[in-house]
Structure 1
Amino acid sequence: MAPSRDPHDERARAWSDGLRRELAARLGPAVAHAVWVTGSVGRGEAVPGSDLESLAVVCDPGDPGDPDDRAVRRAVASTDLSRAPWFAETSPASAADPRLIRTRAGWSTAADGWAAAPARDLGVVHLGLLADARPLTDGHGDPELLPRLAARSVRTHPGILTDILADALSTRASVPSRLTRTLRSDPVVDLKASVLTPVVKLARWAALRVGVTSTSTDGRLELAADPRVLPADRWDSLRVAARVTARLRWEVRLRAGSDGPGTDRVPLSVLTTAERAGLRSAAREIAGAQRTLDYLRSSGGLREPG
């Protein structure tokens, strides 16, 4: 089944863009030009309450007219979007951290280091931040700079793909069974951690594997689909699964109303029968792809991209 074109699928993109514009307005044009959003906002997949993750690309010291790294750190650290309507908590992965502010050359060197020795400095995590990064402001001269640096470092050090795939397979997508209701009064599912994050990580691995610089999960699953790894219909099913889960995540947030941003941990009883069925189907598709990739990884059946 091909992914449906549902206008509801655009809510996360619109929310992410609105959050980007709000952050840019608060930082001011000089600082905003240096800042990139990453994580769910960079992928265009944010919801109310999503973490706000950011990086910064600054010019070499002494260049006139550009803010230095201290000015960027201060501006980002003092910007608070945790109140309504955004409820966006600033993540530890923030341009307020001096380790996440570098020149273009500095990011290139760092990406190579993370790919060459991923265990030394959370290489998989840091490359994921680069791969998901998107300029805070529109009209950037090189909007694919950081994803391209991540892809280039992976191409130079392809061994990192083993670690990235292992991370994507570390949590198997799952939804509690109805049978668990005999053991617990109301099973809870974490829509993000148990279903959405596994497919987001699979899509990022697939994109880095073939050099795709798209930041969205749907775009990655479309552009990086390799029929030698998974059949075409399985890639399409993963796109459907990601959309179903993201759409349900939004519906749950909307039901929270004025009580706050909502939560990803949802009792199964608050979902309709159709929603539970759709979520379980999505989890089965993602878990099935994970099992296939786990087998290919262990058997040496993963081919190099053509």
Structure 2
Amino acid sequence: MLHPSLLELAESAPLCSSPANVRGVLAESLELLSNALHHGEAPSVLAGWFSRVVTDALHSPGIDAEVVLTGPVGRGDALPTSPVRWLAVVDKQGVDPNPALARLLTDVGFIAEPVGAATRQEWEDRARSGENAAVYLDAGTWVASITQADPRTLLADALASRPPAIEVADGLPSREMSVDIRGNLMIPTVNLARWAAWQAGSTAPTTAARLADARSANILTPDEADALTQVWKASLELQSKRWMDRIHDQDATAWDMPALQRSTFGAAARLLSQVMSSVEHRVSD
């Protein structure tokens, strides 16, 4: 059960009546998330809470615009280190809300990545075209429900994001090896889960739920799904720790990580590579 303070903020997020209210809720969400992580709450649980607070705040009357969240927030997978991505829905005479919304987000400390502004019909046409399918599949609303995607492209994107081979010294990742938790663990896992869920006919938004549905549909073997779930949880843990230590936006090598974190990163990267090789060989046969 989440702490009452988290639940109270979640209840207030959709009620924001001004940009100042939205800014306050978003700022408080970072503070409460930090406290919860320090008290041992699971990052996988907090990511869902955090994503919902951000989504509800940006869909509240305090934002005078219609936006569709995609990316980590749209999936329900977001951490404070995740970019906030959105599709702005405007009419022909509408004002693009991206600059004002981006400023609000960056002022609070978020990473703002607007996708663009278009009418609802234009977004629907783009989703049906099959281009940039990941953007629309992660939107989790009416956009995702009409998206067309080429599974071969989704799988190719996933396999192309495979983490580099681990450099090992004395049984642990080499201290000189570059470490990018988001790029080497999180994004590849998200990409593979997205492909697997699409193949399974699943509309689940979160990476964890996509993996579970892909397992149930036999798109992923039980071993593959279990391994990817382990990688996903490990990556959330590692990235959350880097954020709490205020070093998430710094270039890092394994030298900068405690031995336990270095070992966790190495094991997760190897596991992820093994699953990708397994999927690639099975699908190509």
Runs of 5+ in structure 1 lacking a partner? 1-5, 59-67, 115-122, 135-143, 155-159, 300-306
In the TM superposition, residue 14 of structure 1 has moved relative to its aligned partner by 2.6
How far apart are the structure 2 equivalents of 1:210 and 1:92? 29
**Out of 239, 244, 263, which is 2:249 matched to?**
263
In the TM superposition, residue 54 of structure 1 has moved relative to its aligned partner by 0.5
What amino acid is aligned across from residue 82 of structure 1 in structure 2?
T
1:40-79 alignment to 2 at 5 Å?
40-57=72-89, 68=91, 70-71=93-94, 73=96, 75-79=97-101
* Residue 129 of structure 2: aligned partner: 113
When the two structures are aligned, how many residues end up with a matched partner?
A: 242
Q: Is the 8 A contact 1:175 1:280 kept in 2?
A: no
Q: Which moved more, 1:226-235 or 1:288-297?
A: 226-235
Distance verdict in 2 for CA 1:229–1:22, change over 3 Å: closer
Q: Which has the higher contact order (CA 8 A, sep 6+)?
A: 1
In the TM superposition, residue 72 of structure 1 has moved relative to its aligned partner by 5.1
Task: Report the identity percentage.
Answer: 24
Q: Is the 8 A contact 1:191 1:264 kept in 2?
A: no
* Residue 136 of structure 2: aligned partner: 130
More helix by share: 2
In the TM superposition, residue 219 of structure 1 has moved relative to its aligned partner by 0.8
Q: Is the 8 A contact 2:200 2:217 kept in 1?
A: no
Q: Deviations over 1:144-171 (max 9, x none)?
A: 4222112xx24xxxxx111110110012
Q: Deviations over 1:23-58 (max 9, x none)?
A: 345853x52xx3111101112222224322101456
* Residue 118 of structure 1: aligned partner: none
SS at 1:45's partner residue? coil
In the TM superposition, residue 248 of structure 1 has moved relative to its aligned partner by 0.8
* Residue 179 of structure 1: aligned partner: 169
What amino acid is aligned across from residue 270 of structure 1 in structure 2?
D
2:211 paired with 1:213: no
In the TM superposition, residue 274 of structure 1 has moved relative to its aligned partner by 1.9
* Residue 38 of structure 2: aligned partner: none
| Root mean square deviation of aligned Cα | 2.8
SS at 1:71's partner residue? coil
The alignment's TM-score, normalised by the length of structure 1, stands at: 0.70
How far apart are the structure 2 equivalents of 1:47 and 1:228? 30
Q: Is the 8 A contact 2:161 2:188 kept in 1?
A: yes
SS at 1:52's partner residue? strand
2:126 paired with 1:146: no
1:1-306 alignment to 2 at 5 Å?
7-25=42-60, 27-28=62-63, 31=65, 34-57=66-89, 68=91, 70-71=93-94, 73=96, 75-79=97-101, 80=103, 81-84=105-108, 87-93=109-115, 97-98=116-117, 101-103=118-120, 105-114=121-130, 123=131, 126-134=132-140, 144-150=141-147, 153-154=148-149, 160-174=150-164, 176-179=166-169, 186-225=176-215, 228-256=218-246, 262-263=248-249, 265-299=251-285
The alignment's TM-score, normalised by the length of structure 2, stands at: 0.74
* Residue 303 of structure 1: aligned partner: none
What amino acid is aligned across from residue 286 of structure 1 in structure 2?
L
* Residue 7 of structure 2: aligned partner: none
In the TM superposition, residue 199 of structure 1 has moved relative to its aligned partner by 0.7
